[in-house]
Amino acid sequence: MRSRGAVTVLRSCLLLLVVHLSATVEARRMRGGRGQSRRAQQQQQQQQHQRAPAVTERADAAESFPLDFTAVEGNMDNFMVQIKNLAQSLYPCSAQKLDHDMKLHLLKNESVTCNDGSSAGYYIKESKGSKRWLLFLEGGWYCFNRQTCDSRYETMRGLMSSTKWPQTRRGTGILSPQPEENPHWWNANMVFIPYCSSDVWSGATPKTDQSDYAFMGSLIIAEVVNELLTKGLNNAKVLLLAGSSAGGTGVLLNVDHVAEQLESQGYRGVQVRGLADSGWFLDNKQYKFTECLDTISCAPTEAIKRGIRYWSGLVPESCRQAHVGEEWNCFFGYRLYPTIKSPVYIVQWLFDEAQLTVDNIHLTGQPVHEGQWRYIQNLGQELRRTLHNVPAMFAPACLSHELITRSYWMDIQVKGTSLPRALHCWDRSLQYNLHINSSHGNYSHQKPKTQPMRGCPLHLIDSCPWPHCNPSCPTIRDQLTGQEMSVIQFLKHMGFDVQKIAQQQGMDPRKLLGMLNNGN
């Protein structure tokens, strides 16, 4: 009787698995991205045959829910435990509501601290059976001397101290446990590492009687990894170190160190990768020079030069050797990236709001002048140039900042491909390279020469020249009134002269307006 009941449960759960995954694929097919054009919808329909295998791919992820059917013969209790784990992972056939929150854990090693000496920590939502781990580094600017750090402590204490951190956090975007919002990483072990070191994740110096603050960003990452090894990371197949803004730069600075840390402890089977979102900053010249009084007005290069001295910041050894005496260069993606060994995917808005802010372009109040408009366009061109040799990237021509943890991250497209789809393509290309390398006996953590698969592009960058020329860009709001703006309203606010631009392009102004309305 018990055997017959087990088979009934198994059939029910497997049926729910098929229904659930089919519904997820259908929902993704029907939803369509925000502001999606008819052309993009047609491309989406043409790509359905590429999306359909998602059911097979997810079902084939054997490391997530291994089922041993021989258990029916020898150990019914063990078999039922496996069925329960499958049911809980599917949650439609679970008797209890799943807890999707990530829970706070302060580090056991109390010597690794936030700026004020309070214990650093991390939030985690474990996914039993999954061998994929996603570690996310929070962003939040930085401070670079006693004055700016004191001001930061008064106004943004949560970025310098753990004393007021909540006990739980809910993941969004790539940290979401919902397959509808996060189709390829929803079942990974999710780890959110709060930013409380104010050093772009680079410091390794404790707080002492002589120092004002601790700067231990790089040590926090290393200590979190050590603790996670006792929670299942030791059996992982993939570790994706992700981060946004300062966290994105932190990924570039630390991804090789994490790979080396695991390898040195004997965990060579863990594939370490990086995902850097909105952390590819330029050390360019400001639109208008200002004195370096705070992190907002200070030129990027000067702020980092001061910061690296104040934090005693560490940079990867390969980059340090390439820039001896000028280690500040290693905080800028296009200089650091060529020295990184691990595979890294770059996500970067071409018109990043944080970059424009430190360049003293403030898009509030009066319309932008012609000189500012040219500066903004040149910024996009410069970013394109620095990203030219990056094989795996997603760069929409939008005015925004941060993407991978936004709830709308599935809606943004570049050349008809969404970011989750692009990351899935990247994952497949890495698996393909790993298979080829291992078959030749030369597996290593070296960056593979990623080759795009058919219908699976890796190098995605917009070619249109002005902010929000991509129709899937996030909604624009007037920063004074909060009202939504059309693309044309926004461009006029930016000082965009339709007549003049049309004349420069040799086309009728009405045709240009039509192209803008269609997002071309």
Per-residue pLDDT of the chain (520 residues; tens, 9 = 90+): 444 444 444 454 454 444 444 444 444 444 444 444 444 444 454 454 444 444 333 333 444 444 444 444 445 555 555 555 565 555 444 433 457 899 999 999 999 999 999 999 999 999 988 999 999 999 999 999 999 999 999 999 999 999 999 999 999 999 999 999 999 999 999 999 999 999 999 999 998 877 889 999 999 999 999 999 999 999 999 999 999 999 999 999 999 999 999 999 999 999 999 999 999 999 998 988 888 888 888 888 999 999 999 999 999 999 999 999 999 999 999 999 999 999 999 999 999 999 998 998 876 656 677 788 889 989 999 999 999 999 999 999 999 999 999 999 999 999 999 999 999 999 999 988 776 655 544 444 555 555 556 778 999 999 988 888 898 999 877 666 666 776 666 666 666 666 676 677 677 766 666 655 554 4
**Which one-letter amino acid corresponds to residue 177?**
P
Do β-strands 344-347 and 393-395 pair in parallel, antiparallel, or remain unpaired? parallel
The C-alpha atoms of residue 494 and residue 402 are separated, in whole angstroms, by 21
Q: Helix crossing, 2-31 with 76-90: angle to 10°?
A: 20
Tell me the two tokens of residue 378: 């040149």
Tell me the two tokens of residue 175: 């940290």
The C-alpha atoms of residue 349 and residue 302 are separated, in whole angstroms, by 23
Contact, 494 vs 467, CB < 8 A? yes
Tell me the two tokens of residue 471: 């129709």
Tell me the two tokens of residue 286: 């400001």
The C-alpha atoms of residue 432 and residue 456 are separated, in whole angstroms, by 13
Contact, 162 vs 194, CB < 8 A? yes
CA-wise closest residue to 79 among 19, 6, 17: 6
Question: Alpha-carbon torsion 30, 17, 136, 153, what sign?
Answer: positive
At CB < 8 A and 24+ separation, what contacts does 304-307 make?
304/144, 304/200, 304/328, 304/331, 304/332, 306/144, 306/145, 307/142, 307/143, 307/144, 307/199, 307/200
HSE, CB side, 13 Å, CA atoms: give it for residue 429.
25
Q: Which stretch of DSSP H or E encloses residue 250?
A: helix 246-264
Which residue among 352, 411, 427, 462 is the active-site one? 352
Q: Label residue 72 left, alpha or beta by phi (over 0 means left) and psi (-120 to 50 means alpha).
A: alpha
Which residue among 184, 257, 401, 459 is the active-site one? 401
Let me know if 130 is a catalytic residue: no
- Counting Cβ atoms within 10 Å, is residue 515 exposed (0-12), middle (13-18) or buried (19+)? middle
Strand-pairing partners, residue 461, are 395
The C-alpha atoms of residue 417 and residue 404 are separated, in whole angstroms, by 15
Burial 350-363 (b: 16+ CB within 10 A, else e): bbbbbbbbbbbbeb
The C-alpha atoms of residue 464 and residue 458 are separated, in whole angstroms, by 18
For residue 194, the model assigns a pLDDT of 98
Contact, 253 vs 316, CB < 8 A? yes
Do β-strands 344-347 and 189-193 pair in parallel, antiparallel, or remain unpaired? unpaired
Which residue among 118, 176, 245, 472 is the active-site one? 245
The C-alpha atoms of residue 201 and residue 180 are separated, in whole angstroms, by 32
Q: pTM of the full predicted structure?
A: 0.78
Which residues, other chains included, contact 431 with Cβ-Cβ below 8 Å and sequence gap of 6+? none
- Counting Cβ atoms within 10 Å, is residue 48 exposed (0-12), middle (13-18) or buried (19+)? exposed
- The three-class DSSP label of residue 387 is coil
The C-alpha atoms of residue 55 and residue 60 are separated, in whole angstroms, by 8
CA-wise closest residue to 476 among 383, 364, 395: 364
Let me know if 245 is a catalytic residue: yes
Instruction: Give the number of other Cβ atoms within 10 Å of residue 382's Cβ.
Output: 15
Contact, 57 vs 65, CB < 8 A? no
Contact, 413 vs 40, CB < 8 A? yes
Let me know if 401 is a catalytic residue: yes
Place of tokens 């160190």: 257
Which residues, other chains included, contact 133 with Cβ-Cβ below 8 Å and sequence gap of 6+? 188, 189, 191, 228, 232, 233, 236, 238, 239, 240
